[in-house]
Structure 1
Amino acid sequence: MTPTLWLSGLRYHLRHRWQLVLAVVGIALGVAVVVAVDLANESARRAFALSMESIAGQATHQIVGSPLGIDEALYARLRSEGLHPSAPVVEGFAESRGRTFRLLGLDPFAEPPFRPHLSFRSRSEIDLNRLLTEPGTVVISRSNLRELELGSGDSLELDIGGRPAVVKIAGTMDSDDRMERQALDGMLVADIATAQELLDMVGRLSHIDLILEPAEVEPIRTRLPSGIHLQRAENRTRVMEQMTRAFSVNLTALSLLALLVGLFLIYNTMTFSVVQRRPLLGNLRALGASRREIFWLIAGEALFLGAVGTAIGIGVGIALAQGLLGLVTRTINDLYFVLNVTALTVTPTALAKAVLLGLGATLAAAVAPALEATRTPPRLITTRSREEIRYRTVAPRAAAIGGVAMATGGLLLLYPSQALAPGFIALFLIILGFALGVPWITGNIVALAERLGRRRLATPERLALRGVRASLSRTAVAIAALAVAVSVSVGMAVMVESFRQTVHQWLQFTLQADIYVSPGSAVSARRSPPLLPEVISRVRQTSGVADLSTYRGLEVGSEFGPIQLQALHLNQQSRTGYRFRSGEPKRIWPAFEEGAVLVSEPFAHRSQVVPGDRLNLDTASGARTFPIAGIFYDYESDRGTVVMARAVYEQWFADQTVSGLGVYLEPGADVEQTMERLQSRVSDLQGVRIRSNRDIREASLAIFDRTFTITEILRLLAVAVAFTGVFSALMALQLEKAREFAILRAIGMTPGELWRLVTLQTGVMGLIAGLLALPLGLLLAAILIEVINRRAFGWTLWLQLPPEALIQGVLLAVAAALLAGLYPAHRLASSPPATALQEE
């Protein structure tokens, strides 16, 4: 290409700086959302991996036992038999000053081969003598010590499963390696004996770490007693990562929708730049510029805009990711497991992905305008009306292609698969297909409105409608961008409200007890520390208490990996709280008492089991098989749950501990007064959480709302991208129609009437976008509920159609269009008509 062509393009963009800025902003916003979600997910994943590595270290295998742990005598026997290297580990959680710490009990003399970063390196300052000989001493990371504003030798108060404990800091851990330093964050390390006392695990170990050669695995496995298992160390990490995979994929897909909306803006910008330069391009073609040179001129400009927008988007995305990281971490803590993420991890892979997405999306959106600039013969390229005629001719064909794309998406949804990728591909095909049909639909809607209002509408209204249809090549693109963004907002709102109402109804019939008692630690739901027997006895004897149901929650091994098991003693009222997807209650409950288990809907979905199948569980006396009696609806965890009768659990797991109580009151007993009596009776024994049925419902819905906060943010960002696109389109129309509006002013139209005309035109565009967004939004909601959500999490949701969400969608589209049209309307109404006519 000649320098003359490049200079012509540069001069055009310098003369239209606002258009250049809007294009860059649109690209930057789209890229920023993708980068932010990607970095937040990757940082959480990396923090989890570091946390797991800090525990597993160099271990290749682990010896694990029942939920109560392993008798430490086994470790002594294996060591005496020459099993080296091996290291005992005691693991649990503790809370202090609103923060959750992982408490790790280790043997310093067995550690060097396993966890070098915990082997008291030179940067660590640890009084090893105190740690080994003085009870209640721990070491902590240097950064955590600064955060807690403590010094070495100071005391730290802990809450461990509702039991208070005080430890002394015997030193700090640190490392020169940034990753190792991050792994130490949120960790308390103690001697084995100290950790056993703090976690009430005297004489027991959480697991034993081993470093084995492949040939050593089976001989070791055969030496283990019944109920003790040998597993690969990475199994635990893999299972935990699988828990959050669907959550991360859904966030990534939602962020890509923002980039998809940005595509419309890029396409609109490049199309308008081609249309506005038609006379110049026609002259260049007539003077000898080839089609190839014109194509690469437009494509090169798009690549430049994409590069600038992507660079800015990456910077904004990194800043945005820091805020999203807290939301992602909080959601993982609420739903899955304890995770401390304080540092944002920016990887070259994430940045490379952002560059490819930003540049790829820009070039993809610029191909059609670049081809358009090369196709028209030079003698016709200066005729604007011919382009609009051609566009209206092409619109039906584009709508037909869009119909094919939507039908293809529908067929993909019908394909029997549990994979998420086909569902998301179908979702994007449906959105793109709908967008291709917007120009044809818009033209027909406006034509119908013109016919119906021919005698009723005043001149400004008729001109507003005609202006939308006369410039369909650009108004339709802006309408499509806004419609897609608002449809995503409507679809997500309907899905979230359906989810919320489903959870609300489930809580209503599941929480049958009047009061619930559990250990006071906020991590009790994850680790299920036991209630003291004396606490249970005093609760039972409290005035106003009629009956109790008991709960024991723990993690056990199975053929599907570690699973959540709940051992329940249920009275008749408790049983009414279960709703079954498969199986008849009259047959389920007798089978349940005889030894069958119940599985939640997410567990059945993930494990592909049905009533009548058998489930293998690792019990204290070895592997046992339990028949599955029924599948119940459950929305507590997408990981899934297995429920077993309390008597059956005690028989096979030799565990009589209780993690929580459901308290049923006598008729007429006051809930609040009974809660106060319970608190006064047991507070001297153990810190417990005593909550009413209503309190748990409210707390559960609060967690639900926190979980979807990040979704709301991404919805708003998608609408922001669309708003930029509408503003860009309206500014383009203002420039293009400057002469037309100047003539209207010259023949008598007042500034107020012109303002009204432009405002009506933008309002019509917003109204059409809002009306088109409703059916697409409802379709997206149905796909999210019936396909994406079901495949990702296994939940059955009941579709709700909140009228306020639909009305808000239309109002959002109209408001966005009207706001975007304020500046163009002001500029047109305040510009002297003579100036516009002279410029033309």
Structure 2
Amino acid sequence: MSGSSAVRGTRTAAPAPLPALLATLSAPEWRHHPWRQAAAVLAVLLGVALAFSVHLINTSALSEFSAAVRAANGEPDLSLRAAQPGGFDDALYERVAAAPGVRVASPVVESQAQAFDRAGERVALKVVGVDALVVAGVAPGLWPRVADGEGRTAFLAPDAVFLNAAAQQRLGLHSGETLALQFGLGRVALRVAGTVAAGGPPLAVLDVAAAQQQLGFEGRLSRLDLRLEPGADAAALVRALALPADVVAASSDDATQRVSNLSRAYRVNLTVLALVALFVGAFLVFSVLALSVAQRTPQLALLGVLGLGARERRRLVLAESALVGVLGSALGLAVGTALAALALRWLAGDLGGGYFPGIAPQLQFSWPAAAIFGVLGVVAALAGGWLPAWQAQALAPAQALKGLGGTAGPAAPAWLGPVLLACGAALALLPPWRGLPIAAYVSVAVLLLGGIACVPAAVGLVLARWHPRTQPLALLAVERARHERQAATIAVAGVVASLSLAVALTVMVASFRDGVARWLDTVLPADLYARSATTSAAADTAFLPPGFVDAVAALPGVARVEATRQRALQLDAQRPAVTLLVRPLADPARALPLVDAPVPARTALPGAWVSEAMVALYDARPGTTLALPIGPAGEAVAFEVRGVWRDYARQFGAVTVAEADYQRVSGDTRRNDLALWLAPGTDAAQVIAAIRALAPDAAALDFAQPGEIRAVSLRIFDRSFAVTYYLQAVAIGIGLFGVAASFSAQVLARRREFGLLVHLGLTRRQIVGVVAGEGLAWTAAGALVGLALGLAVAVVLVKVVNPQSFHWTMELLLPWARLAALVAAVGAAGGVTAALSARAAAGRDAVLAVKEDW
């Protein structure tokens, strides 16, 4: 009776809820194989951590820089800004201040200068002249706070300057000490009389009249910040003022938007590069779950016989992949936050791009961003688990219990790979979207998927004519590798993805480095270089005095001197300023690294030669007319574009004009840099000493020889791209782990086959050799596909992504020796990995497995 009741109780018991059942079935896998699950979690963790940390660093740096811009500019209702760095006539101030609807008008002089710290080193310093009586109502961060012991009206003194915290720390100066600013090749001494609250990079504030006098802005202003009466219409005010051509009206958000546009392409490219780790990590999740499904095939088959449906088996594997994604994403977000905090502390948020100089941002954590990157991690894990889940669903329980059926996934149609490759090539031809190569990024992903889909066909082609009939074991390995080539997609998908990315990055970096080296050889023809300004932004305060160039040319040992002038030009209020380079141009074809031959003059206009960025951003093609605001009062002067040259130093555009044409239309005779050709046998050190003796301040000039500049530039380049080599190593390691996991899965499914071979007389070493031969064949095919695919991706990166992101081109360079070594190493490692995975294949378990069918 009791037994009958027990049976009836078992039959009438309510089934366990599906989530609880799936958790119960997954628990043994996580408990007995923690290392394997940990590897999958680690792959997602690395991808999420790298991508999220890059996002946090960029967002924090941009936020801090924008806050610094707002502190320095304030938040006026309206700003009237000079169209060019030279400023506008300050007579406009009285008219604007008296205009109806204007409550406060704050005049500002703004310039980039170079100061000297305690050690005599030059420091980039932003200098702002304000009217302390009105600035607090518009930009409180610029209001001078007088130090103790100074007079109450010290902010009106012509030699008083007020530093923010960054300037005090960088210069090592405090109240009562002297600040030395470079003007020309001399120094201007100012007395530190207090501080200002504005944050951001080093900043100095002084009285607006003193700034006009000390910085060469006599009678000029940089901007007028306006606070309007309540209800005043800014647009109507601008129309009523009838502003001159060299003044533009701007909102307080324009400067912040300009900074965002300045670094947008750089930030997006870093984020996409970081997401590559997450993309490759999905293949590791796939390999781990495929191995898990293969090992648990008997258990899954038994559960299927007992009533666990196909959909439930699929949900089981997808639930495990989702758990991998959730754990990896959660840990990745924590690790990424920590990495971002350390990077912001040690690298100051610059990340090698140079877009946020002098900024030491605080971490700006964002929960919405964390949610987005967390979801990306889960999606990557689910994508990696989809095919193993399909395998678990398609499992035939009865056949699987007898050891029949394979571990290969569904066979992709033969047309899928070529169609994806064609779609990827078509996407690469699309133009950028809002200045970003979005279609090119999608093209790279589609090309990778298409290449992976072509792996079976590639295996067939590689092995089609290889028939080692005199070597039975080799013939067995080749025939099985050819027959099971659909399984090769699973085995070498990670190798194809990782190797193709490694090849693409290798070709891109090599092409870029070769292009930079050739460009440096062209732009550095002289024996010695001297510069007065470390940046083009400071070129208007650091310049060579009149007669200095002629004095240098007369020095013993100097065969020829060529002086150049740099200045910033604002061609578009929504874009960063372009750089104008003025130099003698007797033969532009020899003096400039032209992309194509210069076009002959078609008009009587003076000629201009533009960088590639000017063509992309301003459509300044050869033969067109380009208006440059370089007239004496900022008037636009028309130039005819005669050629395009490569410039890897200025991303947002540069224009070169002949010195004679520039001085004729502008009246500006200042020069900033010198290129010197020395007589044979002349000691460069003696020439440098003689030039320093001519300068009012010997520390105001920097000297370098072309070899030094070239070595420093390439060293900076190599350091900037060092991260790509680490990314290649990680990607290839993940791919080889996928080979190991895939062959381990196949070994488990082929125990009876190996047992039969043992009964036929094959030794364990011979069986391992057969598996190693299969692995070598598949990995060799995968390596060839990866090489071809990597070259295709490299073409997209070099010819599409770089021009669309940074507006420069380069020639494609193929470092065949490095590529061959990379492919050979991956192929050999794949064979060794397969052999190691098969070491247990011919053991006692394989022999006993044959008895399961008897």
User: Considering the TM-score relative to the shorter chain, is it more than 0.5?
Assistant: yes
Aligned partner of 2:590 among 576, 580, 601:
576
- Residue 107 of structure 1 corresponds to 131
The 5 A counterparts of 1:297-316 are 297-316=316-335
Change (3 A) 1:283 1:686: closer
Aligned partner of 1:24 among 41, 46, 69:
41
- Residue 87 of structure 2 corresponds to 69
Change (3 A) 1:236 1:645: farther
- Residue 441 of structure 1 corresponds to 458
1:411 counterpart = 2:431: no
1:192 counterpart = 2:208: yes
Q: Which deviates further from its counterpart, 39-48 or 191-200?
A: 191-200
Change (3 A) 1:774 1:730: same
SS at match of 2:352: helix
Q: Contact 1:528/1:553 (CA < 8 Å) preserved in 2? A: no
Aligned partner of 2:815 among 759, 781, 802:
802
Q: Contact 2:622/2:644 (CA < 8 Å) preserved in 1? A: no
1:401 counterpart = 2:412: no
- Work out the CA distance in 2 between the residues paired with 1:421 and 1:790: 13
Q: Contact 2:431/2:439 (CA < 8 Å) preserved in 1? A: no
- Residue 52 of structure 1 corresponds to 69
- Residue 92 of structure 1 corresponds to 112
SS at match of 2:21: helix
The 5 A counterparts of 1:566-715 are 566-572=580-586, 576-581=590-595, 584=598, 586-587=600-601, 594-619=605-630, 620-635=632-647, 636-666=649-679, 669=682, 671=684, 673-682=686-695, 684=697, 687-715=700-728
Gaps of 5+ in 1: 175-179
1:498 counterpart = 2:511: yes
RMSD over equivalenced CA pairs, Å: 4.1
Q: Which amino acid aligns with 1:375?
A: A
Higher helix share: 1
Q: Contact 2:176/2:191 (CA < 8 Å) preserved in 1? A: yes
Change (3 A) 1:328 1:380: farther
Q: Contact 2:201/2:359 (CA < 8 Å) preserved in 1? A: yes
Q: Contact 2:424/2:442 (CA < 8 Å) preserved in 1? A: yes
Q: Which amino acid aligns with 2:606?
A: G
1:432 counterpart = 2:449: yes
Q: Which amino acid aligns with 1:568?
A: V
Q: Which deviates further from its counterpart, 205-214 or 21-30?
A: 205-214
1:512 counterpart = 2:525: yes
Q: How far is the alpha carbon of 1:157 from its aligned partner?
A: 6.4
Q: How far is the alpha carbon of 1:733 from its aligned partner?
A: 5.4
SS at match of 2:397: coil
When normalised by structure 2's length, the TM-score is 0.84
SS at match of 1:104: strand
Q: Which amino acid aligns with 2:152?
A: N
1:241 counterpart = 2:242: no
- Residue 252 of structure 1 corresponds to 271
Aligned partner of 1:208 among 224, 227, 239:
224
1:371 counterpart = 2:390: yes
Give % identity.
27
- Work out the CA distance in 2 between the residues paired with 1:117 and 1:786: 46
Q: How far is the alpha carbon of 1:99 from its aligned partner?
A: 6.0
SS at match of 1:533: coil
- Work out the CA distance in 2 between the residues paired with 1:47 and 1:807: 46
| 1:53-104 per-position Cα deviation (integer Å, ceiling 9, x unaligned) | 2222213323215432334454355435674422233232445468644343
1:564 counterpart = 2:578: yes
Q: How far is the alpha carbon of 1:525 from its aligned partner?
A: 7.4
Q: Which amino acid aligns with 1:87?
A: S
Q: Which deviates further from its counterpart, 468-477 or 258-267?
A: 468-477
Q: Contact 1:478/1:725 (CA < 8 Å) preserved in 2? A: yes
The 5 A counterparts of 1:478-493 are 478-493=491-506
- Work out the CA distance in 1 between the residues paired with 2:735 and 2:586: 55
1:267 counterpart = 2:282: no
Q: How far is the alpha carbon of 1:245 from its aligned partner?
A: 2.1
Q: How far is the alpha carbon of 1:604 from its aligned partner?
A: 0.7
Change (3 A) 1:585 1:414: closer
Q: Which deviates further from its counterpart, 781-790 or 687-696?
A: 687-696
Q: Contact 2:532/2:700 (CA < 8 Å) preserved in 1? A: yes
Q: Contact 2:743/2:834 (CA < 8 Å) preserved in 1? A: yes
Change (3 A) 1:14 1:241: same
Q: How far is the alpha carbon of 1:191 from its aligned partner?
A: 4.0
- Residue 331 of structure 1 corresponds to 352
Q: How far is the alpha carbon of 1:290 from its aligned partner?
A: 2.9
Q: Contact 2:528/2:676 (CA < 8 Å) preserved in 1? A: yes
- Residue 10 of structure 2 corresponds to none
Gaps of 5+ in 2: 1-16
Q: How far is the alpha carbon of 1:31 from its aligned partner?
A: 1.7
1:40 counterpart = 2:57: yes
Q: How far is the alpha carbon of 1:742 from its aligned partner?
A: 8.2
| 1:673-732 per-position Cα deviation (integer Å, ceiling 9, x unaligned) | 434432343374561112223333333333433443344444444334435434544555
Aligned partner of 1:79 among 81, 97, 103:
97
Change (3 A) 1:374 1:478: closer
Q: Which amino acid aligns with 1:610?
A: R
Q: Which has the larger radius of gyration?
A: 2
- Work out the CA distance in 1 between the residues paired with 2:296 and 2:796: 42
Q: Which amino acid aligns with 1:597?
A: A
Change (3 A) 1:512 1:298: same
- Work out the CA distance in 2 between the residues paired with 1:125 and 1:728: 72
Q: Contact 2:609/2:645 (CA < 8 Å) preserved in 1? A: no
Alignment size in residue pairs: 817
Q: Which deviates further from its counterpart, 193-202 or 314-323?
A: 193-202
